[in-house]
């Protein structure tokens, strides 16, 4: 009598457990990998033979083309703006569309060099772009969740950012500014390098 009454509940328990084990891991990986709804992608390119005349100080022109797209739909890119830089300082801007990112949603910034390798001027421009686009996102009521940088330029961009007297690394102690204006989370594309910086 006892064996017959226990057999069915055990079978049901095993069936339900197998369903739960099959479903769980896939869902949790998606959530952890992409905690942002939108991606702002920046492509940098150093331009040659611009303003090439004697006495010119505009000798290191970098063009940054900025687009955004829903992270789940990479093909649906919208042109946002282009910014031109000279020696790391913004020189000109051409906005093509307003920032059509849904307010309140998380954003990731991704900076890639067009040629696959960033020049030093592109790294300087990237340092400014991170601050500038983070500010744009905040004004549009979006949180900048993470900044992704190419592996080959990760260290150089961090170095350029740290030249800004307002930017500092956390020290891991009580000295870390609790009232920093911005907290920036940077990671390399391969995700093996991570850095947190503060703008104070």
Partner 1 sequence: MRISVQRNRRGSVLVLGCICFGFLALLTLIGCSFANLYFVCNRVQTSADEIALAGAHALNEHDQIGQMNNMIVRCRQLVYTSQQDYDNVVADYPHLQTLARELRDSDRQSATTLEGQRTLLRDLAIARAQVAMENKFNQIKPSYSMVLPWARTDMSALIQFRFGRLAGTESNVGELAGVSELASIDHTRGYIQAAAGSMGLSRYRQGIDAKLPDANSDLSFNVSSLAAPVSATVSPARITQAGAFAVVLPGTQIPSAVQVKVTLNVATGIGPHGSGHIVALGTAATTGGDRQL
Residues that bind partner 1 (CB under 8 A): 47, 49-58, 63, 81, 83-84, 86, 89-97, 128, 131-132, 135-136, 138-139, 166, 179, 181-182, 199
Does residue 121 contact residue 60 with C-beta atoms inside 8 Å? yes
Which residue(s) pair with 69 in the sheet?
A: 39
Nearest approach, Cβ of 54 to partner 1 (angstroms)? 7
CB of 192 to partner 1, least distance (A): 29
Measured distance CA(140)–CA(14) in Å, rounded: 50
Residues 60, 46 contacting (CB under 8 angstroms)? yes
Q: Which is nearer to partner 1, 130 or 150 (CB)?
A: 130
Nearer to partner 1, 4 or 53 (CB): 53
How far apart, in whole angstroms, are the C-alpha atoms of residue 127 and residue 159? 9
CB of 109 vs partner 1, minimal distance in Å:
15
Query: Closest approach of Cβ 86 to partner 1, in Å?
Result: 7
**Residue 73 CB, nearest approach to partner 1 (Å):** 23
Angle, helix 120-139 to helix 154-162, in steps of 10 degrees: 70
- The minimum distance between CB 28 and partner 1, in angstroms, equals 34
The answer to whether 130 and 199 have CB atoms below 8 angstroms apart is: no
- Comparing CB distances to partner 1, the nearer of 24 and 98 is 98
Q: Could you give the angle at the alpha carbon of 62 between the alpha carbons of 93 and 98, nearest 5°?
A: 30
| DSSP conformational letter for 22 | H
Q: Which is nearer to partner 1, 87 or 155 (CB)?
A: 87
Between 16 and 91, CB nearer to partner 1: 91
Residue nearer to partner 1 on the CB measure, 90 or 112:
90
Q: Which helix (H) or strand (E) holds 90?
A: strand 89-95
Query: In this structure, what token pair is assigned to residue 177?
Result: 């500014």
Taking the CA of residue 186 as centre, how many other CA atoms within 13 Å lie in the half-sphere pointing to its CB? 26
């Amino acid at each position: 009598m006892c064996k017959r009454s226990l057999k069915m509940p055990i079978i049901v328990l095993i069936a339900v457990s197998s369903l739960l084990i099959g479903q769980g891991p896939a869902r949790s990986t998606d959530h952890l990998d992409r905690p942002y709804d939108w991606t702002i992608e920046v492509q940098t390119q150093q331009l040659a033979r611009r303003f090439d005349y004697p006495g010119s100080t505009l000798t290191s022109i970098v063009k940054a083309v900025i687009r955004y797209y829903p992270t789940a739909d990479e093909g649906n890119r919208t042109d946002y703006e282009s910014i031109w830089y000279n020696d790391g300082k913004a020189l000109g801007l051409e906005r093509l569309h307003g920032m059509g990112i849904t307010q309140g949603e998380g954003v990731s910034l991704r900076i890639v060099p067009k040629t696959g390798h960033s020049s030093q001027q592109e790294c300087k421009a990237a340092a400014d772009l991170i601050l500038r686009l983070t500010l744009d996102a905040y004004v549009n009521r979006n949180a900048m969740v993470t900044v992704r940088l190419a592996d080959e330029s990760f260290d150089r961009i961090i170095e350029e950012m740290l030249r800004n007297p307002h930017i500092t690394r956390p020290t891991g102690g009580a000295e870390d500014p609790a009232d920093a204006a911005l907290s920036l989370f940077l990671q390399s594309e391969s995700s093996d390098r991570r850095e947190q910086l503060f703008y104070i």
